[in-house]
Amino acid sequence: MTNSSLPEIAHYIDGEIVSGSSDRTQDVFNPATGGVEKQVRLAAAADVEAAVASARAAWPEWSKMPPLRRARILDRFKFIIQERADQLAEAISSEHGKTHDDALGEVTRGLEVVEFAVGAPHLLKGEYTESVGTGVDSFSTRQSLGVVAGITPFNFPCMVPMWMFPVALACGNTFILKPSERDPSASLLMAEWLSEAGVPKGVFNVVQGDKLAVDTLLEHPDVKAISFVGSTPIAKYIHTTGTANGKRVQALGGAKNHMIIMPDADLDMAANALMGAAFGSAGERCMAISVAVPVTDAVADALVEKLVPKIEALKIGPAADRSSEMGPLVTRQHLDKVRGYIDSGEAAGAKLVVDGRSFKQDRQGYENGYYVGGSLFDHVTPDMEIYRDEIFGPVLSMVRRESYQDAVDLIHSHSYANGTAVFTRDGDVARAFAQDIEVGMVGINVPIPVPMAFHSFGGWKDSLFGDHHMHGMEGIRFYTRLKTTTTRWPSGQRENPQFVMPTLG
């Protein structure tokens, strides 16, 4: 039930903030303090249906608007985001817990997709062939799908929605965003700023909610496509349910990203890369490096020696302290889950070199925040839970291997295949790794190989369900469908009926 003393985060439907028809709410916590600061409305099915109806009504006019005009509106939105990036970052940090600089980085990476989407008029051009037959011409066009929806995770409340809606809108679709109920404020800011930029009512809607809202979107006949980012079990559910209801679906799931460190690698470079990739955003990234794979014991020993003092020196604190390098985890439940994985690794026999459970936040006002320190395990084996599962926390596992091929085989044996990296000075190794590794996104001396907006993001195996990756040209293809038209104009000559397979030559 609603606590009237707390600010309320509601829905954005048909160009207005609305409370909706449900009295169900959920507390929104500040992870840095552990305190409840807001409440979010959880939609009833009727609220989702209202958003779909609004988007469906807005689609005909929006889809027929010249792509250049849609692009100009997105361009205005881009400048609003640039001017108010700090405001958006503060909203993200207050509900997710990531540091202010990290939140600003998230805004920047989302903004890059808006910049890409502004170029959609060029990317939506079709193909034309004159005289495919005598007096016959043929052309193809890419047209919008209609109402599409995005279901997005807590770890990137700005960037992941912007992987989706700028491209969808640029292509002429109308959009419904169902953000995470853990950090929903960023969704309303973006909705209001899109309206300010000139997006007509109904073109972009936000429905706060839980599984009820998700299922209503998955089953609604007017929703033509679903984009999702989250855990693999939910991604499978979204894909299975959405496709069973006749929808186009792209569902990005979990990850267990490995980084191979070869004997010839620059170990200082590799250690610094691991620090950011494993502990940035408290490890709550689907592209976090959670497994270091040093090749040979000598490399492993040297790497541990470099990592330990760096991990122990991590400055862990709230986003309000702009010098913080790592913030809290998102919820008390997730903190307990990550601590449980550390317990599990220790019980399984892995060597706990740095124990993040010992960290205590003693700053006044932040003692009850969801903090854990960075942890490092050595001598991890593939049968251990801490290796198999996506922990989604600041826990780095080291799995030693004796050769490059052993390291590659290790990666190939895992069910996830989202991102991976190799650190080496050897061009032959780098080229072979890029060509042969069975993973969707690859880094060569780059620890988190998230593609730029004009390329596309997505993994393989249990990290992606559906045929299309996100943003870039894959995004354009996902949010449009191809139509081919063949034309002939009367020449004044009479023709007899033809009953055989037509040929145009």
Which is nearest to 369 in space by CA: 397, 332, 400, 414?
A: 332
Say if residues 56 and 71 touch (Cβ distance below 8 Å).
no
Q: What is the largest CA-CA distance in the chain?
A: 91
Angle (CA) 263-264-269 rounded to 5° is 100
Rounded to an integer, what distance in angstroms lies between the CA atom of residue 441 and that of residue 155? 19
Q: What is the DSSP letter of 287?
A: T
Say if residues 47 and 11 touch (Cβ distance below 8 Å).
yes
Rounded to an integer, what distance in angstroms lies between the CA atom of residue 374 and that of residue 393? 9
Side-chain-side CA neighbours of 460 within 13 Å: the count stands at 13
Say if residues 278 and 310 touch (Cβ distance below 8 Å).
no
Rounded to an integer, what distance in angstroms lies between the CA atom of residue 155 and that of residue 152? 9
* Residue 312 host element (H or E): helix 297-312
Amino acid at 393: G
Amino acid at 372: V
Token pair in block for residue 159:
């960037």
158 part of the active site: no
Marked catalytic residue, from 91, 149, 234, 286: 286
**CA 136 to each of CA 142, 429, 448, 495: distance values in angstroms, whole numbers, following the listed order:** 21, 53, 50, 15
* Cβ atoms < 10 Å from Cβ of 417: 23
Strand partners, 376: 354, 396
Q: Which residues are catalytic?
A: 286
